[in-house]
Amino acid sequence: MDALLRLYKEYCGHQPAQCEPIKGSGSNRQYYRLSDAEGHSLIGVVGTSRDENHAFIYLARHFTTRQLPVPEVLSVSDDGLCYLQTDLGSTTLFDALKKGREAGGRYTQSERELLRRTIAQLPNVQIRGARGLDFSQCYPQAEMDRTSVIFDLNYFKYCFLKATGLDFHELKLEASFQLMAKDLTEGGGDAFLYRDFQARNVMLDEDGQPWFIDFQGGRRGPVQYDVASFLWQASAQYSPELRNELIDVYIQSLKQYTEVNEVRFREKLRLFVLFRLLQVLGAYGFRGYFERKRHFLESIPPAMQNLRDLLAEGGCPYPYLNQVLTELVQLPQFAPQPQTPVTRADGFKTTDNNPYKPHPADGPATFSKYDGKGPLRVRVFSFSYRKGIPSDESGNGGGYVFDCRSTHNPGRYEPYKQLTGLDEPVIRFLEDDGEILTFLESVYRLADAHVERYLQRGFTDLMFAFGCTGGQHRSVYSAQHLAEHLNEKYGIEVDILHREQDIRQTLPARPFSLEA
C-alpha cells in the first residue's frame, strides 16, 4: 500500500485526500480508488504477480493505442507490483442487470440494449485488438492450445465430476477429452481471446457505453470462446430467444472485421458452449465443494440447468462423454427444483391464486401457462396509419389499437406542422380543444381494468398503440399520456415508442401493491 501511495504522489504531485478500497474479483489483485481534494479519482492496483501485472499493462497500453474502450494505464511502479489507471466509475454491467436476474431472466428492453451494445463491441476488442499484438506478452501463455484445453477438462473431472460420486471409465473419458481438445483448437485463430468475458468485467459509463477490464488472462484463440463465456454465464439466466438475438448482433458486428461463415460459426460455438460449461463447473466444484464458498455452491444449479438444456437440444458429439453428462444431470442432487408460487417483495403478484369467483358447480379452474410469471411490462406505441399498425413482438398477440383520427388535428394548422404531441404548443392546443381528453377518459378506464387484471394474474406483457394520420401529434400525445398514467398509477415499467418520430423511452417500475 505504501508503494501505491508513493506512486500516486509521484504521478499527481501530492498525496491522495482519500483512499477507498474497492471490492475485488477472484484474483489476488487489490484495488483502491484514490481521490484528490476536488474529487478527481484514479484507480490504484496492487498485485502479487509481476507477470500477471505485466500482461495487463502491456495489453491495456496496446488496446489504448488501438483506441479500444479500456482503462488507460497512467503509471507503473519500478518493481511492477502496482500501477495507476483511469477510473471508469463503479457501475458494472452485472450491477445494471440485477433486476433482470432477480426476475428470473426477464430482461427489460433497456437491459437488453446494454447487452446488445456490449456484445457488439466484442469483435472490436477481439479483431482490432489483435492487430499488432505481441502475443508472447500474454500470461500465462500466448495462445489457447490442446494442453490448456485438457487442463481445464481435467479440472472439471477432478474438482467436480469425481466429487459428485458418479462412476465413470477414466480412459474412455480421457479419449473423449482428447477428441474435444483437437476439435476446439483445430484451425487456431488469430483473434484476441478475452477468456474472462463476463458482465462483471464490463464497466458502464454515464451514457451506458461499455468499457472492458480484467483481460490480463487473454491470449490468441478462437472468437467463439468469449461468446460462449458471456452468453452462458450461469447466473444470468438468458432465455434462448435472447441468446439467439445477441448471437445475431455479434455475428453482424464480426462481419465488419472479417468474413464469417455463419453455419460453421454456430457449429463451433455450440462446442465451445459445452467446453465452457464443463470449465465453469470445474471452478464451481473447487470453490464450492472444496473451499466451501457459498456463492459458487449457489452457482452450480443454474450451470447444471444450462448443461441439461444443451444436452436436450442435441446432446454432446462425443458418445462416451455424452453418456457421462446425461447421467450427471440426472443425479438426484441436481434435479430441477419445482417453482414455488411467491409474492414478490416489490408487490407484483406471482402466485397462482384465481382472482375470479367461479360457481361451485364448475369445479376448480385450470391455469394458463402465462399465470404467475410477472412482473408486468406495458409497451405503448404511437404510429401513422399510412405506415401500418406496429407488430406485436411479444408473441402474445394481445393489446389494443386506438384510432385518434376522430379528434381535432393540430397538424392542419401551420404553427404546429413542425411540432409533435410532446411539444407544449401542441399540448396546449389539444387540451384547450378538449376532444382528446374525452377520448382518453374512455381509454384510461379500459386500460386500467385490463392492467389490474394482468397484475392480479401475474401476466407479463400488454400492448397499446395509438394511430393518427401522420403519427406526429394526436397519437404521440395520447401514447405519452397513457404511458405516464399507467406508470404513475400502478408503478409498472412502461416502454414507449413514438415510431414515426424515432423516440424511445422507458418509464422504470416502482414498488407497488394492488392491496395498498
Coil, helix or strand for 75? Answer: strand
Question: Higher-confidence residue: 148 or 340?
Answer: 148
**What is the structure's pLDDT at 504?**
95
Q: Domain check: are 273 and 163 in the same one? A: yes
| Domain-located, residue 370 | no
Q: Are 299 and 284 in contact (CB under 8 A)?
A: yes
CB-based burial label for 234 (10 Å; 0-12, 13-18, 19+): buried
Q: Domain check: are 117 and 78 in the same one? A: no
**What is the structure's pLDDT at 341?**
41
- 52: domain CATH number? 3.30.200.20
Q: Domain check: are 329 and 270 in the same one? A: yes
**What is the structure's pLDDT at 443?**
97
Of 259-268, 473-482, 495-504, 507-516, the one with minimum mean pLDDT is: 507-516
| Domain-located, residue 328 | yes
**What is the structure's pLDDT at 514?**
58
pLDDT tens profile 68-101: 999 999 999 999 999 999 999 999 999 999 988 8
> Taking 80 as the threshold, does the pLDDT of residue 12 lie above it?
yes
| Domain-located, residue 368 | no
**What is the structure's pLDDT at 455?**
86
| Domain-located, residue 344 | no
Q: Domain check: are 308 and 390 in the same one? A: no
Under the banding of pLDDT at 50, 70 and 90, the label for residue 349 is very low
- 127: domain CATH number? 3.90.1200.10
pLDDT tens profile 308-319: 999 999 879 999
Q: Domain check: are 61 and 187 in the same one? A: no
With CA atoms as reference, report the closest residue to 212 among 141, 143, 129.
129
Which residue, of 309, 333, 357, is where some domain finishes? Answer: 333
| Domain-located, residue 126 | yes
| Domain-located, residue 362 | no
Q: How many other β-carbons are positioned within 10 Å of the β-carbon of residue 182?
A: 11
**What is the structure's pLDDT at 365?**
61
pLDDT tens profile 318-341: 999 999 999 999 999 898 754 444
> Taking 80 as the threshold, does the pLDDT of residue 181 lie above it?
yes
Per-residue cell: 257: 472485421
Residue 140 preceded by cis peptide, ω within 30: yes
Under the banding of pLDDT at 50, 70 and 90, the label for residue 351 is very low
Which residue, of 279, 310, 333, is where some domain finishes? Answer: 333
Q: What is the mean pLDDT of the chain?
A: 90
**What is the structure's pLDDT at 150?**
97
Query: For 401, phi and psi rounded to 5 degrees?
Result: -125, 120
Pairwise CA distance, residues 83 & 60, whole Å: 12
> Taking 70 as the threshold, does the pLDDT of residue 210 lie above it?
yes
Q: Domain check: are 398 and 297 in the same one? A: no
**What is the structure's pLDDT at 237?**
85
Q: Domain check: are 386 and 482 in the same one? A: yes
| Domain-located, residue 187 | yes
CA distances from 250 to 65, 121, 244 (A): 23, 8, 10
Report the domain count for the chain: 3
Q: Record the pTM.
A: 0.67
Which residue, of 31, 66, 86, is where some domain finishes? Answer: 86
Q: Domain check: are 454 and 476 in the same one? A: yes
Tell me which residue range forms the domain holding 237: 93-333
| DSSP labels, 334-392 | GPPPPPPPEE-TTS-EES----S---GGG-PPP--TTTT----EEEEEEEEGGG-PPP-
Q: Domain check: are 501 and 400 in the same one? A: yes
| Domain-located, residue 226 | yes
Q: Domain check: are 183 and 235 in the same one? A: yes
Q: Domain check: are 127 and 74 in the same one? A: no
Q: Domain check: are 451 and 488 in the same one? A: yes
